[in-house]
Amino acid sequence: MQDVGRIWGLRTSSKVRLCRSGWLPTEPPFLASDDTTGLGILRGAEGGSPDRKEDVLQRFGVKWLLAGAALIASGSAIAENPIVPGWYADPEARVFGNRYWIYPTYSDDWGKPDVSPSFTPHQQELRKTKTVRPSYTQQTFFNAFSSPDLVNWTKHSHVFDVANAAWAGYAIWAPSVIEANGRYYMFFSANDIQSDAETGGIGLAVSDKPEGPFKDALGKPLIGAFHNGAQPIDPFAFRDDDGQVYLFYGGWKHCNVVKLSPDMKSLVPFADGTNYKEITPPGYVEGSFMIKRNGTYYLMWSEGGWTGPDYSVAYATGPTATGPFKPMGKILAQDFRIARGAGHHSVINVPGTDEWYIVYHRRPLGDDKGEHRQVAIDRMVFEPDGSIRPVAMTNEGVKPRPLTAPTAARKN
């Protein structure tokens, strides 16, 4: 484990932030923003020039470090988006025990490459097959992050790795973790299959602890083929009030929902005898998500292209977990002052309250590389009529929100 802390996100009274994210300014990517002192903005995937960085350090470095030390001493660390250093995407947020958890996709290397320890001969062959983007061969594990208060995050490295799933070789994406039967079940996408002739799809791994290690539970995908046109990616596990767990998933502009057996390892037919129910709303692309509030089901999803600035989040409401759903519009989109490409989100409800937070990825301004995505948290507010107020993206993030009591009994 590694405590990523908050020193990289501290501000001085001049409101100049030394790093967009990451550690100290000698580490890429380097960006100074919210500048009220004439420092200017340094952009680019590789960061600013060494001379410029050195100049910034000489002019402001000591002041920032002193200010950071003072804030830490006073116990008043400031939350800031992005919340953790690194290129991460598709974050799923959960509450397990007395901590918040985030399980994201490892999107790209940040500084020193992070890699899986080894690959089997079969996995090596899988990795030679055609992939859409070279980065997919880097995406072979999940790191996780946990926090007592949504501000101070601890990194848990390689909670799942393809070393523990012999059929999966690359493009490990969008984990979804749910507690059941005293264990933790992780659904995940693997191998980015383009047809039923390929091996891959949605897998299942299990662990006794939320921090893993998660190990393959089936020896094969749980969903390894296309149904109703949906590519088997982007799973999300949702438990309804009656205890039934549903798995929402789907790419290629199609969304399916299936019912899971109590042991999470197989599908249960719907009343009409089918296993796969299509519930695709207008505009849907991928990243389905579900919450329930005051008897209303909120189906949420991402629209637009994941590598582009138009990536966004929309939602619909319905009377059951399977619909029918009424489209309600977008609630999260790019803000030219803050970030672009905001999407593939999840939502946290603080247990016992009506406080809600949206956890999502977004792309820094001026950075056009598709994999360069970062995790952010902002408040999500419901209007009196039950609709969701459009989310205001911020650089400030959220205030500390400790969990008031252990919530080990919470199952969704």
Burial (CB count within 10 angstroms: exposed 0-12, middle 13-18, buried 19+), residue 188? buried
The one catalytic residue in 90, 161, 192, 367 is: 90
| Residue 90: active-site member | yes
- The gap between the terminal CA atoms of the chain, to the nearest Å, is 25
Nearest to 375 by CA among 356, 351, 398: 398
Q: For residue 327, which phi and psi values (nearest 5 degrees)?
A: -60, 140
Determine the distance from the C-alpha atom of residue 405 to the mean position of all C-alpha atoms in its chain, rounded to a whole number.
Answer: 25
| Residue 211: active-site member | no
CB 176 within 8 A of CB 103: yes
Residue 140 CB-half CA count within 13 A: 24
Residue with tokens 């000591």: 62
The one catalytic residue in 161, 211, 234, 286 is: 286
In angstroms, the Cα distances linking 37 to 24, 41, 287 are 20, 11, 40
Tell me which residues are annotated as active site: 90, 286
